[in-house]
């Protein structure tokens, strides 16, 4: 959290902005843009900014308008071969010389089918238009000519300064200028963007925060911003602000994205940087694709083959007519003379060919597609009416939001799932801990036998603490007794938990604390410390207030050493009321064990045993340690810390070195164990999916440790696996070596020169390719982070990634952007040629939901975007089992039986006319007059069969 030291990261400095050093991911994102290399804008200068042709702030998710609806919709519908076939048939029926059927026998059914589909598509698009208009016409306060006026979202332009108020949606991607909170902090909720419901903090730089809400100063502000081009990266932003001849560094902490919600902040002002389609929200939205099932593709192929078969029959009958006319036809010419346009047997045969083409059209009847849509509609109602997929707690039924994909559910081979809110409830609870070598959390009876905790187990009484959270539950009374006795190590342990975090407290009513945490883990730990008597009450940028066993104590906050994936730990440095400088650290045990003082060796061994017990229960673990610092040593370190922050070259590496200098010789306090509650039935559902040979990949933006722990808890990974591969390379070569090493261990033969992938890569030109299934020598898991994935999705590496991943029992992709989720889904679709399903609950899952063959939205706590963009929606992950194995299987079986019966009865009806031709002189006559319209009379039995 960089807002603690606001002056360190905003020292003005002059430099030449060089974009050649931008990261790989930024270059990839820029490559997708329309040639824009960098963005340049000036505040309060619409005339200047308009020269660059930046889009306005309106969005468009609809497909049609009044002018293009009819041609576009008809074009899409005639992509169905059957519709195109009947259109050709209609034209043929308009020729009286060859048609023995009235034209309306084809045009009426065709118009009905096209009209029904067009109405359905039109209604869906009208809903999208309505949503677009609703968003584009929202009101926002904008600074114009020195005063605040109300305008519509769609009229906002790059360079405008807008005012946002508490609980208001952010209009565009804005650079935060000032806010009502101390130090220009602004609290935001990003559920619609990344699926996380925890509050995050943004801070304006001091040069603009001093303007506060002074409209005169804000109107005179003419700062120039140079920044990266629009891209999909949610975790990175690089740019500079030039103001009054000085340059200021801009980073991710200064930008607020469209779709966020302002919380706990009365007002804030922001400079619009990206608008409309250029915003991070829209960049990560993905494109809507028209989804067709395997049955649709199969029917198109069948129609093509039946069409060829029909042409063959017509050709045979035309030849028969030619022979019959030459041998016997002249006997009948006295009674049935040739028409004037028939000059020979050849001409007559050509006309008979087309006549039979019309008569035998029932081989591919248009009623087939009408019947298929009726069956799909019925199967959709079965899903909507399923009481076993009804979630009573929220009164939410399952929804089939499309009627075209039901039978596809029965053919799913890959499931791509989000983690937070999809597999888990996103509710963390403090379960157990180890303090100074003593285990807390288990409950024992009078005979010292361990008791299984249940709803009947007596809870710890926290009535002695008036600030305790009444929803918190703990069962081991010995920990409370240690707190009350004043155990030094227990007190220090909970002091560490109440200080080492980035939680933001809210206390709207005296004594009713609500913690807003960036991570649910932090929230659980701070809540635990609160209940045991160490209440985190408030914070400023310089102090933290703790109520320790009823006594208020204020700690001076000297520094926060941030958590990241490399460090895997977080530290705070504080000055106690006794004027002692203390460092408190929490992090992964694998890291902290290496930083402990040698005197902690025996305590470390005992704690590690406890951590193993925690891990075996599927709990998320952290180690807690501290160090008391000499005042002179800290002052010297603080100077080095400031120098590292001001460094222009290799800044991150220098900061890391400075952190390591102080995070050593730590004294171990203990460890925590947190339970991330899974949704009901998740482990059982995943076991069942695995038994059905369906592979589950977890695509999450969460930390690697968290994702792996959940994978074990829900049985994607298990302790009996033969190995787990972690891909964390930071360049193409390293990632390639890690993937090849994994493949070699799983199946050495896959690296032979005869590998079909090698043949595919060397072939020119490349043809569509399907990666064959490979059976590894055991059960393995794969974990890859978002940065390594960016390399792995490049060029030929994507095939290495896919071949390795598909051999694993489960795959965990962590720290992913929403667009990367879609890219992984597209990769499997492209080279595995199997049916994929994506399931998620947040706006960050929308792109993969759209990319997969089937998208499922969980109506959870993270907004409605996932559900609104899904094909099916329900409230619990465990309902996926019933959706696939009951409704999917039944729909697929019904459709297959229907198609078999339908083609059988139509072939039977048509072949009767073919046989009748041999007894009617190949004269293109109907055998059964009155049934010329179609085989409609036989459709109800086949529908009832389905």
Length of the chain: 946
In 3D, which of 683, 844, 699 has the Cα closest to residue 783?
699
Does residue 194 have an active-site annotation?
no
Structure-token pair, residue 22: 């931008």
Structure-token pair, residue 220: 């005179």
Do 431 and 524 fall within a single domain?
yes
The answer to whether 351 touches 325, Cβ cutoff 8 Å, is no
Residue 799 neighbours by CB distance under 10 Å: 20
Domain-terminating residue out of 756, 775, 808 = 808
Alpha-carbon gap, residue 556 to 544, rounded angstroms: 6
Structure-token pair, residue 514: 């609500």
Do 671 and 746 fall within a single domain?
no
- Find the domain containing 240 and state its range: 2-57+156-283
In 3D, which of 803, 785, 783 has the Cα closest to residue 721?
783
Flag whether 75 is in a domain.
Answer: no
> Residue 235: its pLDDT value, please?
72
Neighbouring C-alpha atoms within 13 Å toward the C-beta of 227: 28
Catalytic residue among 26, 418, 521, 589: 418
Helix (H) or strand (E) holding 168: none
Flag whether 70 is in a domain.
Answer: no
Task: Give residue for tokens 């261990």.
Answer: 745
Helix (H) or strand (E) holding 210: none
CATH at 571: 3.40.1110.10
Q: How far, in whole angstroms, is CA 735 from its chain's centroid?
A: 24
In 3D, which of 512, 544, 546 has the Cα closest to residue 532?
546
- Residue 848 burial (C-beta neighbours within 10 Å; 0-12, 13-18, 19+): buried
Do 526 and 653 fall within a single domain?
yes
Do 503 and 647 fall within a single domain?
yes
Do 538 and 602 fall within a single domain?
yes
Termini Cα distance of the chain: 60
| DSSP assigned state of 439 | E
Flag whether 308 is in a domain.
Answer: no
Residue 364 neighbours by CB distance under 10 Å: 24
The answer to whether 218 touches 269, Cβ cutoff 8 Å, is yes
The widest CA-to-CA distance across the chain, in whole angstroms, is 126
> Residue 903: its pLDDT value, please?
83
Do 653 and 742 fall within a single domain?
no
Flag whether 203 is in a domain.
Answer: yes
CATH at 234: 2.70.150.10
Peptide bond connecting 185 to the previous residue in cis, omega within 30 degrees of 0: no
What's the sign of the alpha-carbon dihedral 298, 300, 302, 305? negative
Q: What residues have CB less than 8 Å from 322, skipping those under 6 apart?
A: 345, 346, 348, 349
In 3D, which of 942, 860, 869 has the Cα closest to residue 402?
869
Strands 412-417 and 695-699: parallel
In 3D, which of 519, 511, 516, 586 has the Cα closest to residue 550?
511
Alpha-carbon gap, residue 44 to 47, rounded angstroms: 9
Alpha-carbon gap, residue 557 to 574, rounded angstroms: 5
Alpha-carbon gap, residue 187 to 722, rounded angstroms: 45
Rounded alpha-carbon distances, angstroms, from residue 612 to 304, 589, 590, 617, 677: 62, 11, 12, 9, 19
- Residue 372 burial (C-beta neighbours within 10 Å; 0-12, 13-18, 19+): buried
Do 516 and 630 fall within a single domain?
yes
Q: Which residues of the chain have pLDDT under 50?
A: 1-34, 930-935
Q: How far, in whole angstroms, is CA 736 from its chain's centroid?
A: 26
> Residue 227: its pLDDT value, please?
92
Do 790 and 666 fall within a single domain?
no
Long-range contacts of 12-21 (CB under 8 A, 24+ apart): 12/207, 12/246, 12/247, 12/248, 13/247, 13/249, 13/646, 13/648, 14/246, 14/247, 15/247, 15/648, 17/226, 17/240, 19/228
In 3D, which of 55, 46, 275, 45 has the Cα closest to residue 174?
275
The answer to whether 262 touches 170, Cβ cutoff 8 Å, is yes
Do 740 and 616 fall within a single domain?
no
Helix (H) or strand (E) holding 109: helix 104-136
In 3D, which of 466, 369, 429 has the Cα closest to residue 85?
369
Q: Show the DSSP H helices in 650-796 as ranges.
A: 651-662, 682-691, 704-713, 732-746, 756-762, 786-792
Rounded alpha-carbon distances, angstroms, from residue 584 to 144, 432, 567, 574: 49, 20, 15, 8
Task: Give residue for tokens 């990241």.
Answer: 564
Flag whether 395 is in a domain.
Answer: no
Flag whether 428 is in a domain.
Answer: yes
In 357-460, beta strands by DSSP E: 399-400, 412-417, 424-435, 438-440, 443-444, 450-451
Q: What residues have CB less than 8 Å from 558, skipping those under 6 apart?
A: 573, 574, 575, 581, 634, 638
Alpha-carbon gap, residue 655 to 636, rounded angstroms: 15
Task: Give residue for tokens 């590998």.
Answer: 755
Domain-terminating residue out of 262, 283, 304 = 283
- Buried b / exposed e over 162-191, threshold 16 CB at 10 Å, is bbbeeebebbbbbbbbbbbbeebbbbbbbb
> Residue 585: its pLDDT value, please?
95
Alpha-carbon gap, residue 443 to 263, rounded angstroms: 41
Do 665 and 724 fall within a single domain?
no
Alpha-carbon gap, residue 693 to 714, rounded angstroms: 17
Do 669 and 748 fall within a single domain?
no
Give the predicted TM-score (pTM) of the model: 0.68
Rounded alpha-carbon distances, angstroms, from residue 916 to 486, 925, 928: 103, 9, 10
Radius of gyration of the chain from Cα atoms? 34
Flag whether 406 is in a domain.
Answer: no
Alpha-carbon gap, residue 16 to 392, rounded angstroms: 60
Alpha-carbon gap, residue 25 to 252, rounded angstroms: 15
Domain-terminating residue out of 646, 676, 706 = 676
Strands 534-539 and 543-548: antiparallel
3-state secondary structure of 193: helix
| DSSP assigned state of 886 | I
Residue 147: phi, psi to the nearest 5?
-140, 160
Helix (H) or strand (E) holding 102: none
Neighbouring C-alpha atoms within 13 Å toward the C-beta of 762: 7
Do 662 and 725 fall within a single domain?
no
Q: Write the pLDDT tens digit of every residue in 589-618.
A: 888 999 999 999 999 999 999 988 887 776
What's the sign of the alpha-carbon dihedral 899, 905, 909, 912? positive
Alpha-carbon gap, residue 862 to 866, rounded angstroms: 9
| DSSP assigned state of 541 | S
Query: Could you give the number of structural domains in the chain?
Result: 3
Flag whether 144 is in a domain.
Answer: no
């Amino acid at each position: 959290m960089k807002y603690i030291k606001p002056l360190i990261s905003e020292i003005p400095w002059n430099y030449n902005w060089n974009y050649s050093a931008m990261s790989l991911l930024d270059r990839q994102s820029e490559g997708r843009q329309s040639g824009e290399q960098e963005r340049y804008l000036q505040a309060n200068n619409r005339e200047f900014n308009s020269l660059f042709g930046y889009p306005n702030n309106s969005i468009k998710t609809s497909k049609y308008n009044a002018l293009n609806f009819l041609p576009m919709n008809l074009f899409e519908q005639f992509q169905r071969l059957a519709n195109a076939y009947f259109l050709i048939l209609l034209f043929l029926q308009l020729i009286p010389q060859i048609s023995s059927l009235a034209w309306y026998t084809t045009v009426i059914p065709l118009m009905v089918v096209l009209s029904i589909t067009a109405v359905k598509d039109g209604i869906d698009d009208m809903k999208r238009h309505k949503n677009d208009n609703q968003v584009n016409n929202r009101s926002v306060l904008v600074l114009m000519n020195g005063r605040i006026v109300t305008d519509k979202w769609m009229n906002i332009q790059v360079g405008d300064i807008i005012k946002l108020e508490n609980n208001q949606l952010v209009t565009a991607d804005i650079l935060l200028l000032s806010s009502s909170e101390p130090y220009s902090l602004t609290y935001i909720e990003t559920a619609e963007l990344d699926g996380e419901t925890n509050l995050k903090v943004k801070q304006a730089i001091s040069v603009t925060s001093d303007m506060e809400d002074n409209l005169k100063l804000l109107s005179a502000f003419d700062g120039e911003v140079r920044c990266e081009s629009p891209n999909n990266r949610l975790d990175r932003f690089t740019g500079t602000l030039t103001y009054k001849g000085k340059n200021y560094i801009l980073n991710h902490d200064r930008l607020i994205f469209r779709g966020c919600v302002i919380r706990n902040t009365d007002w804030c002002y922001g400079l619009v940087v990206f608008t409309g389609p250029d915003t991070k929200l829209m960049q990560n939205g993905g494109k809507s694709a028209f989804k067709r099932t395997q049955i649709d593709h199969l029917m198109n192929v069948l129609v093509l083959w039946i069409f060829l078969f029909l042409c063959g029959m017509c050709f045979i009958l035309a030849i028969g007519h030619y022979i019959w006319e030459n041998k016997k036809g002249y006997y009948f010419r006295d009674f049935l003379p040739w028409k004037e346009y028939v000059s020979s047997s050849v001409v007559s045969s050509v006309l008979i060919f087309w006549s039979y083409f019309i008569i035998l059209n029932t081989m591919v009847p248009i009623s087939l597609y009408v019947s298929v849509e009726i069956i799909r509609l019925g199967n959709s109602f079965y899903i909507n009416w399923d009481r076993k997929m009804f979630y009573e707690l929220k009164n939410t039924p399952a929804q089939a939001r499309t009627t075209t994909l039901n039978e596809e559910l029965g053919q799913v081979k890959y499931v791509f799932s989000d983690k937070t809110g999809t597999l888990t409830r996103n509710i963390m609870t403090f379960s157990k801990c180890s303090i100074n070598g003593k285990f807390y959390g288990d409950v024992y009876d009078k005979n010292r036998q361990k008791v299984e905790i249940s709803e009947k187990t007596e809870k710890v009484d926290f009535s002695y603490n008036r600030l305790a959270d009444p929803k918190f539950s703990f069962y081991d009374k010995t920990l409370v007794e240690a707190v009350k006795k004043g155990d030094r190590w227990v007190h220090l342990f909970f002091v560490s938990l109440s200080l080492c975090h980035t939680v933001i407290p809210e206390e709207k009513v005296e004594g009713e604390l609500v913690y807003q945490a960036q991570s649910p883990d932090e929230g659980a730990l701070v809540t635990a410390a609160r209940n045991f008597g160490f209440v985190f009450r408030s914070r400023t940028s310089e102090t933290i207030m703790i109520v320790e066993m009823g006594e208020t104590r204020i700690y001076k906050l000297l520094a926060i050493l941030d958590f990241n994936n490399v460090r895997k730990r977080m530290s705070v440095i504080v000055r106690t009321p006794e004027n002692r400088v203390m460092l408190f650290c929490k992090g992964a045990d694998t890291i902290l064990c290496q930083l402990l003082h040698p005197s902690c060796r025996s305590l470390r061994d005992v704690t590690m045993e406890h951590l193993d017990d925690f891990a075996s229960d599927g709990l998320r673990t952290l180690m807690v340690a501290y160090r008391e610092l000499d005042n002179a040593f800290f002052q010297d370190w603080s100077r080095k810390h400031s120098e590292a922050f001001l460094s222009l070259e290799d800044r991150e590496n220098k900061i890391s070195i400075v952190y390591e200098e102080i995070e050593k010789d730590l004294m171990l306090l203990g460890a925590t164990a947190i339970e991330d509650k899974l949704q009901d039935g998740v482990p059982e559902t995943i076991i069942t999916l695995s038994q059905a040979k369906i592979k589950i990949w977890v695509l999450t933006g969460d930390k690697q440790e968290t994702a792996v722990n959940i994978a074990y808890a829900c049985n994607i990974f298990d302790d009996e696996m033969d190995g787990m591969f972690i891909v964390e390379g930071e360049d193409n070569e390293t990632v390639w070596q890690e993937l090849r090493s994994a493949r070699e261990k799983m199946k050495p033969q896959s690296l032979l020169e005869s590998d079909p992938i090698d043949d595919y890569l060397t072939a020119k030109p490349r043809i569509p390719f399907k990666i064959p299934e490979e059976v590894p020598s055991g059960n393995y898991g794969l974990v890859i982070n978002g940065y390594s994935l960016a390399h792995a999705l490049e060029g030929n590496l994507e095939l290495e990634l896919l071949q390795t991943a598909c051999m694993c029992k489960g795959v965990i992709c962590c720290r992913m952007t929403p667009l990367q989720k879609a890219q992984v889904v597209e990769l499997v679709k492209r080279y595995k040629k199997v049916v994929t399903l994506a399931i998620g609950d947040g706006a960050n899952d929308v792109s993969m939901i759209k990319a997969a063959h089937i998208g499922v939205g969980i109506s959870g706590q993270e907004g409605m975007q996932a559900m609104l963009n899904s094909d099916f929606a329900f409230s619990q992950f465990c309902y996926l089992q019933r959706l696939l194995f009951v409704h999917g299987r039944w729909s697929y079986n019904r459709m297959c039986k229907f198609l078999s019966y339908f083609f059988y009865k139509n072939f039977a009806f048509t072949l009767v006319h073919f046989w009748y031709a041999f007894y009617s002189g190949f004269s293109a006559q109907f055998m059964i007059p009155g049934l010329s319209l179609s085989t409609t009379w036989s459709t109800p039995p086949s529908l009832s069969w389905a």
